Amino acid sequence: MKKLLLCLGLIALFACGMLVGANTFGQPQTVLHVITVKFKADSTPAQQQAALDGVRKMAAEVPGIKNVWLKKIKVQPADFSTVIAMEFESKAAFDAYTNSPAHKAWEAVYLPIREQSTTHDVTN
């Protein structure tokens, strides 16, 4: 009987350890907008930095932008040099950003030096 109780206790302890150690994750309803960029060969580092700084400025002015990411770790394809990611609080905020004056102002800096880009938008 003691062995049975000991075995049950060890099984319960193991199960509790598995539950505590289990990875948890969320599935937020925010929208991620990810842009990979290949700048024109004749664009300068100062122009490219101005485009990235413009993302920060735009994020401060556009309602609904929660977060931005501007430091690349890895970008594909290999000849693309930059990645920009923005998190919007909702699909409505994402939709409103497209025609906002701040977005239009940023495009005036960004589009003349952009050779090519890909965009990915994702939510749950």
* Residue 68 belongs to domain with CATH number: 3.30.70.100
In a domain, 38, yes or no: yes
Q: Which range marks the domain in which residue 40 is found? A: 31-122
User: What is the phi/psi pair of residue 49, to 5°?
Assistant: -65, -35
Per-residue confidence band for 1, with pLDDT thresholds at 50, 70 and 90: low
Q: Exposed (0-12), middle (13-18) or buried (19+): which is 90, by Cβ within 10 Å?
A: middle
The mean pLDDT of the chain is 90
Q: How many domains does the chain have?
A: 1
Instruction: Output the CA torsion sign for 8, 11, 16, 19.
Output: negative
- Confidence (pLDDT) at 5: 56
- Confidence (pLDDT) at 22: 82
